Amino acid sequence: MKKILFVTASMSRGGAERVISILSDYFASKGFIVDVVVLFSGELGYVLNPAVRFIDASSGGPKVFRLFSSIRLCRRVLKDERPDLVFSFLDSVSLAVWPASRGLRFKAPAEDRKAEPFSDGCTHREKHGSTGSETGGKKAVRRPRLVCSERIDPTSSKRPWIFRRLINLFYSRSDALVVQTERAFGFFPDRVKRKSFIIPNPVSVSCEAAPFPLRKPVFVTAGRLTAQKNHKLLLNAFARIHDRVPGWTLEIYGDGEMRDCLMEEISSLGLQGFVHLKGNRSNIHENISDAGCFVLSSDYEGFSNALLEAMMMGLPCISTDVAGSGEAIRAGKSGIIVPVNDVGALSSAMLFIAEHPVEAMEMGLRARCDAGKYRRDAVCGLWEDLARHLLFGDEA
């Protein structure tokens, strides 16, 4: 039975963490041994499959020393757990995982060299010929395979040149790189592209949007309250149209360091009572299911889980032109795409949704259909195909 390690910074509530919770559950259901390892923070914001073990390898101290301690602790975990495959999420995590995994070799346990049946009736021994007798009685030696996963849009990130050089080096020397969009794939040099696979986020929702007659005049968004999400843009766009659609309100789900700043912005715009900061909610889909429209105002994204989930629910969606939005939304058909940081364009799109309920309903219905390709099992199957290829080769 093969062991997979997912390594990330933390498991607080966020897009990458949400994907790991889905993938770890999927691989555990397929019979793999699965561990989730965090290097920077022990916070656990998602409920994991009971079969998935959570390993807190985080360390405190100043950030300048955190990378070095993370490399040391990650190498210790790899030696103790002896994984067959490691999925490293986030560029900062890959900076620790790649050097931590270098030179590691594990003696294959006896059960790995026994006949392991495949779906076609053949055995691992028959397919790969890895028996003790064929190696002079010595135990087979294996190394952990490493897959890095780029979770942001590299075309919009402001990485220092030395960081960028290191990341490209580590990505090119890993066994594979997973990117989420065509835009991200096109950013990297050829030596990285040769090992890259485009796999979007797997999405699952707990409910669909309410029937349209039951929808409320509410704009919603969900995400961490950080500068990247540019909630100030959303507040100013809403302020511009508030007098024209006074029955509409705005609800912002999520938490983060910008909360106090956003509260001040709401007050300065005179939107008290019309804009509500709702915090984190475990049942986010139920909370937004009766909304009139979902809005993503980010400056950049890897590929927004929140947008895909809103589309899959059947909500009409507006998004800034961040990575992935153009691949998920048929502009003007299944949603509206506006330029990044353009308050005029965003306010016009929000006003259109508020004043054209029939067109908004049609966009939501098309969005639900278009988002079907991102459903959990379809996308997780792509990750499984990659894993089996690396573990068993073309004969897997």
Which residue in this structure is represented by tokens 């059960």? 111
Per-residue pLDDT at 63: 65
**Euclidean distance between CA atoms 391 and 175, whole angstroms:** 11
DSSP assignment, residue 102? Answer: T
Domain with CATH 3.40.50.2000 in the chain: 3-104+143-202+376-395, 212-374
- Give the pLDDT band (50/70/90) at residue 67: confident
Q: Full-prediction pTM beyond 0.75?
A: yes
**Euclidean distance between CA atoms 18 and 376, whole angstroms:** 12
DSSP assignment, residue 60? Answer: -
Show the CA angle centred on residue 379, arms to residues 374 and 382, nearest 5°. 150
- Cβ neighbours of residue 273 closer than 8 Å, sequence gap 6 or more: none
Calculate the average pLDDT of the chain. 90
Phi, psi of 106 (to 5 degrees): -115, 140
The 3-state DSSP class for residue 361 equals: helix
- Do residues 112 and 128 touch, judged by C-beta distance below 8 A? no
**Euclidean distance between CA atoms 297 and 234, whole angstroms:** 6
Q: One-letter amino acid identity for 252?
A: I
* Selected residue with higher pLDDT from 92 and 310: 310
Q: Which CATH architecture has domain 212-374?
A: 3-Layer(aba) Sandwich (3.40)
- Give the pLDDT band (50/70/90) at residue 108: low
Q: Which residues of 69-79 are buried (b: 16+ CB within 10 A; e: fewer)?
A: bbbebbbebbe
Per-residue pLDDT at 61: 65
* Domain 3-104+143-202+376-395 -> CATH class: alpha beta
* pLDDT tens-digit readout, 109-127: 645 434 343 334 443 333 3
* pLDDT tens-digit readout, 379-390: 999 999 999 999
- Give the pLDDT band (50/70/90) at residue 396: low
* pLDDT tens-digit readout, 4-45: 999 999 998 888 999 999 999 999 999 999 999 999 988 898
Low-confidence winner among 58-72, 110-124, 148-162, 192-206 (lowest mean pLDDT) = 110-124
**Euclidean distance between CA atoms 383 and 389, whole angstroms:** 10
- Do residues 219 and 238 touch, judged by C-beta distance below 8 A? yes
Per-residue pLDDT at 120: 41
- Do residues 316 and 363 touch, judged by C-beta distance below 8 A? yes
Per-residue pLDDT at 1: 85
